[in-house]
Chain A
């Protein structure tokens, strides 16, 4: 007949924790750990069109690098709290609409990112920095590193978004996001910790059984 005592509960808790860590570590090894993502491609855009690359961190913080080639101009909006797609919706009031959206939610990195086509007249896009005051966001214009080649590197905090616009006809792009810190321990370490915790749990359980039986022999009076 099993007995409940603070020692046995502690032993069982340690054992449960150990088993979960051990098995979880094994599963972690199987599924692997990912700390960065890349996306690249090229888009043929209509006259006056632009490509937007958005990234929105859900649970992670990290570093974004966006690189485009064959672009005539590039802008970006940073410091957006929450989902940037609501801001893009807001731009519809200025005849700037999006289409062909390809957004991906990567829970393994805690980030949403994607590309979309921006449809607007050339004049409107050129005037984008002037909308800063209306939108209450600073729209920055980038300087090219060489003709047609623009690079943006930014740090993003948790729940922060960034939108990058590249104006041009045939824009080639490359996007990468890598988390700021590797916060999780390696799966092998967790499995090892789990095995040790399980052993500790078993030892505590044995200790509980032994002290329980000796306390009964002595006529002990503790629960």
Chain B
């Protein structure tokens, strides 16, 4: 049975003065889907997210969230949970009270229970009586997630939900979101500038560059079409020399070597060659994912 479309973004343009921040972006999110919005800083991710939530107005184009325009129709935001870029919530009351109040705004039948459940899901047990300002960066992020979850939404729109977090916290938050998607069938649209993070979770990704959609599809298809591989090492000069002797087109960077393959099928050979070189030159990681995004953002794909 085909999944219904929860969010559709059609040819969205947004101007700040005469400068376009978004240029005809289109994509859709289906029920239960996990979609990632990727792009470098200033690519228009936050502007797009704020248009989707109904905070900003599109200059041109149409956004349909649960069947209506989120800027004009409050009911379209009924099943929406929003996690803003910088986690920010009113800090004039305790997190528990705030969650209870938020649940009441969404007409939740049992606001106190909803608040306790959201606190538990977001891992905020023991912190419910603190105000938002009293929480650490990681806990603030969790509080924002709890706030987005308290009314049991159908879709969560999260803007950089893992920014400003340490790697361990990042992983925990991502696991939490993935878990909500798997266990509750929650639809999720989230932004990040880390493709590896997005591709781990998302079924489809939208890549923005200077306000324009430059890729829309599965992360796998993005990676598969890429011919760039980045190898991290402490001795980039020696590694670049060894690989160029084997006929690879290489570029040396501060702590890595960027290899451009003639075709994707050469990847197997490269890995074998690297395993041999690894005995002489220390190799820390081999990355094809971020390199694929880099290739795309440098104008290698469309």
**Does A122 sit within 8 A of B, measured CB to CB?**
no
Minimum CB–CB distance from A1 to chain B (whole Å) comes to 4
Binds A, one of B23-31, B109-117, B250-258: B109-117
CB-nearest residue of chain A relative to B111?
Answer: A221
Is B93 positioned at the interface, with any CB of A under 8 Å from its CB? Answer: yes
Distance of A4 Cα from B101 Cα, bound (Å): 12
The minimal Cβ–Cβ distance linking A12 to chain B, given in whole angstroms, is: 14
Which of A1, A216, A219, A221 gathers the greatest number of chain B CB atoms within 10 Å? A1
Known contacts A221-B104, A223-B101, A223-B104: does B110 contact A4 (CB below 8 Å)?
no
Q: How far is the CB of A38 from chain B (nearest CB, A)?
A: 57
| A91 within 8 Å of B (CB atoms) | no
Which residues from B are CB-within-8-Å of A1? 93-94, 97, 129-131
Residues 57-91 of B at the A interface (beta carbon under 8 Å): none
B100 contacts across to A, CB distance below 8 A: 216
CB distance B129 to A220 under 8 Å?
Answer: no
Q: How far is the CB of B56 from chain A (nearest CB, A)?
A: 29
Contact B113 A219 (CB under 8 A): yes
Within 8 A of B (CB), among A176-223: 216, 218-221, 223
Tell me if A3 counts as interface (CB < 8 A to partner B).
Answer: yes
Closest to B112 in A: A219
- A residues within 8 A CB of B131? 1
Contact between B112 and A221 (Cβ–Cβ < 8 Å)?
yes
| A223–B98 alpha-carbon span in the complex (Å) | 11
Q: Mark A1-44, 1 if CB is under 8 A from B, else 0.
A: 10110000000000000000000000000000000000000000
| Pairwise interchain contact B97-A3, C-beta atoms closer than 8 A | yes
Closest to A1 in B: B94
Range of interface residues on B (Cβ < 8 Å) = 10 to 19
Residue pair B112, A3 in contact (C-beta under 8 Å): no
Residue in B93, B110, B111, B130 whose beta carbon sits within 8 Å of that of A3 in the complex: B93
Within the complex, what minimum Cβ distance (angstroms) separates A220 from chain B?
7
Q: Please, how many angstroms separate the alpha-carbon atoms of A221 and B104 in the complex?
A: 7
Interface string of B136-164 (1 = CB under 8 A from A): 00000000000000000000000000000
CB of A216 within 8 A of CB of B93, answer no
B110: chain A residues within 8 A (beta carbon): 219, 221
Contacts of A83-133 to chain B: CB distance below 8 A: none
- CA of A4 to CA of B97, assembled, Å: 11
In the complex, what distance in Å separates the CA atom of A1 from the CA atom of B112?
17
Q: Identify the closest chain A residue to B98 (Cβ).
A: A1
Please indicate the chain A residues that have their CB under 8 angstroms from the CB of B93 in the complex: 1, 3-4
- Nearest to A212 among chain B residues (CB) is B97
Q: Which residue of A lies closest to B103 (CB)?
A: A221
Chain A residues contacting B97 (CB-CB under 8 Å) are 1, 3
Across the interface, which residues of A come within 8 angstroms of B94, CB to CB?
1, 3
Q: How far is the CB of A27 from chain B (nearest CB, A)?
A: 34
Taking CB atoms, residues of chain A closer than 8 Å to B96 are: 216
Q: How far is the CB of A184 from the nearest CB of chain B, in Å?
A: 39
A31 to chain B, nearest CB (A): 39
Chain B residues with CB below 8 A from A216, complex form: 96, 100, 112
User: Which A residues, 50 to 88, have Cβ-Cβ distances below 8 Å to chain B?
Assistant: none
* Contact between A220 and B130, CB atoms less than 8 A apart: no
Of all chain B residues, the one with the shortest Cβ separation from A218 is B112
Complex: chain A residue closest to B104, CB-CB: A221
What distance in Å separates the Cβ of B186 from its nearest Cβ neighbour in chain A?
24
**How far in angstroms is the closest Cβ of chain B from A217?**
9
State in angstroms the CA–CA spacing of A181 and B113 once bound together: 61
Min CB distance, A127 to chain B, in Å?
76
| A221–B114 alpha-carbon span in the complex (Å) | 11
A-B contact pairs, 26 of them (CB 8 A): A1-B93, A1-B94, A1-B97, A1-B129, A1-B130, A1-B131, A3-B93, A3-B94, A3-B97, A4-B92, A4-B93, A216-B96, A216-B100, A216-B112, A218-B112, A219-B110, A219-B111, A219-B112, A219-B113, A220-B112, A221-B104, A221-B110, A221-B111, A221-B112, A223-B101, A223-B104
Instruction: Given contact pairs A1-B93, A3-B93, A3-B94, enumerate 17 new A-B contacts (beta carbons under 8 Å).
Output: A1-B94, A1-B97, A1-B129, A1-B130, A4-B92, A4-B93, A216-B96, A216-B100, A216-B112, A219-B110, A219-B111, A219-B112, A219-B113, A220-B112, A221-B104, A221-B110, A223-B101
Chain A interface (Cβ within 8 Å of chain B)?
1, 3-4, 216, 218-221, 223
- Give B residues with C-beta under 8 Å from A: 92-94, 96-97, 100-101, 104, 110-113, 129-131
Closest 6 CB pairs of A and B: A219-B112, A1-B94, A221-B111, A1-B131, A219-B113, A221-B104
